[in-house]
Amino acid sequence: MKQEMIQFIRNNNQQFVQLRRDLHRIPETAFAEIKTAAYIAAKLREWGYTPQEGIGQTGVVAELQGGAGDGPVLAVRADMDALAVTEQTGLSFASEHPGRMHACGHDSHMAMVLGTAFVLAQFRSHLAGTVKFIFQPSEEQPTGAGAMIDDGVLQNPAPDGIVALHNWPGLPVGQLALSAGPVTGSVDRFQITVSGRGGHGAKPHETVDPVVMASHCVLALQTVVSRLNNPLKPLVLTIGAIHGGEAFNVIPHEVRLTGTVRAADPEVQSQIPAQMKQVLDGVTAAYGGSAQLDYEWGIPSVVNDGPFTEQVEQYLRRWFPPEQVVALPEPSLVGEDYSLFLQNVTGTFFFLGTGDQGGPGLHHPQYSVPEDILSVGVQSFCAIVWEFFSEK
């Protein structure tokens, strides 16, 4: 059956390309994926599915019950949203929505998962299990996964496993890369208020200058990364904005610093606020002021399950030549709210190469995935479903 399926995928490549191009034309941002959801649901219906719409606002879910007896439930997830970017690719199927673009390649993810739904529907009678196709809105915000989970996407039936992929510049075209453990970063944000005592710019000795204290804080906070945490565990602390003062000759009362923390390891992430607080308290106390830290936990990092990821790697090796399936060279600290699915279901997140770095990357107005990867994505999901069902 494997050979038949691979051949069928090969024969239908043009179909996957068409899905991707259609979706590329109609990019929509977080929770505004109206046309996108309608397109997905219409295609699924055309192929005999009964999709549910409006799961997590604009999400779409569909199930395929295999005809070869009972088996496990495997979920396959694609993200649907585009970015507020003005496309500059010059492609014939470029965005028809001004100021909106599929610059992160989610159009290709949808085409791959839709393509998988198309292929597996043809082979339904041979499948011993249920596939749950999850089309998730608002990944970039990132609020869609949480919204779908709140709406019960992981119940009735509850998946026994979940898989998803992201197209990935920096890996050769069509290469599949996966690793156990953390592969993306958590996305936390914080605001720091450094308080002193304002006064005349010419009489600093009568003030507690928050600008000077905040400056020391910005530098000292980098030691949270470089001196308080294991250098072998990826961690970033970025101050993205500094606000304080209005006049050239006035020392203000307070300065606000805003930023983000990205960590691959949840344990590292969990200790950051206390470490930041320690540094901020110490630095500001040294100058007679104080600091308040408001730390907001965001999405966790994607942590791939060890045994499950190893299994998936074996499945992929059965369907692809050895050089096409590799270990992920390094994790990335980008955010991905697929992590929330993985907190509820055993699963893995893998990467599909779109070519070596040097060209426009993800989120760039000229980014476009090579269409050769579409059938690779479809084949990888089909391989995982088929082997997962065969083994159980």
Question: What's the DSSP call for residue 159?
Answer: P
End-to-end CA distance of the chain: 17
CB of 138 to Ni ion, least distance (A): 11
Name which of 79 and 209 has its Cβ closer to Ni ion: 79
- CA-angle at 223, arms to 220 and 224, nearest 5°: 105
Cα–Cα distance for residue pair 38/327, rounded to 1 Å = 36
Least Cβ distance, residue 104 to Ni ion (angstroms): 3
Cβ proximity to Ni ion: between 169 and 245 the closer is 169
Q: How far is the CB of 226 from Ni ion (least distance, A)?
A: 29
Contact 136, 339 (CB under 8 A): no
Q: Which 86-125 positions form the footprint of Ni ion (CB under 5 A)?
A: 104
DSSP annotation of 327: E
Do the beta carbons of residue 59 and residue 147 sit within 8 Å? yes
Least spacing, CB of residue 187 vs Ni ion, in Å: 13
With beta carbons less than 8 A apart as the criterion, state whether 197 and 207 touch. Answer: yes
176 binds Ni ion (CB under 5 A): no
Strands (E), the chain: 52-55, 59-65, 73-79, 130-136, 161-168, 176-178, 181-182, 187-195, 199-200, 235-244, 250-251, 254-263, 290-299, 303-304, 325-327, 347-353
Task: Report the nearest approach of Ni ion to the CB of residue 336 (Å).
Answer: 7
What character string, x for contact with Ni ion (CB under 5 A) and - otherwise, covers 213-252? ----------------------------------------
DSSP designation for 329: S
Nearer to Ni ion, 291 or 342 (CB): 342
Q: Taking the complex as a whole, how short is the minimal distance between the CB of residue 48 and Ni ion, in angstroms?
A: 29
Q: Which is nearer to Ni ion, 60 or 221 (by Cβ)? A: 60
User: Distance between CA atoms of 185 and 187, rounded to whole angstroms?
Assistant: 6
Rank residues 104 and 127 by Cβ distance to Ni ion and give the closer one.
Answer: 104
Q: How many residues bind Ni ion (CB under 5 A)?
A: 1
Measured from the CB of residue 105, what is the shortest distance to Ni ion in angstroms? Answer: 7
* Contact between 387 and 313 (Cβ < 8 Å): no
> Could you tell me the smallest distance in angstroms from the CB atom of residue 319 to Ni ion?
24
Residue among 9 and 369 whose Cβ is closer to Ni ion: 369
Cβ-based neighbour number of residue 303 at 10 Å:
21
Q: Which is nearer to Ni ion, 17 or 334 (CB)?
A: 334
* Nearest residue (CB) to Ni ion, 75 versus 104: 104
Q: Which is nearer to Ni ion, 107 or 387 (CB)?
A: 107
DSSP 205: G
Q: Which is nearer to Ni ion, 75 or 302 (CB)?
A: 302
CB of 29: closest distance to Ni ion in angstroms?
Answer: 13
Shortest spacing between CB 106 and Ni ion, in angstroms: 6
Per-residue DSSP letters for 280-323? HHHHHHHTT-EEEEEEEEEEPPPEE-HHHHHHHHHHHHHHS-GG
Give the footprint of Ni ion on residues 294-353 (CB under 5 A).
Answer: none
Cβ atoms of 193 and 291 within 8 Å: the answer is yes
- Give the bridge partners for 254, in sequence order: 195
Asked if residue 111 lies in contact with residue 16, where contact means CB atoms within 8 angstroms, the answer is yes
> Which residue's CB atom is positioned nearest to Ni ion?
104
Distances (CA, A) of 337 to 61, 86, 265, 302, 354: 17, 24, 15, 8, 21
- Residues contributing to the site for Ni ion (CB under 5 A): 104
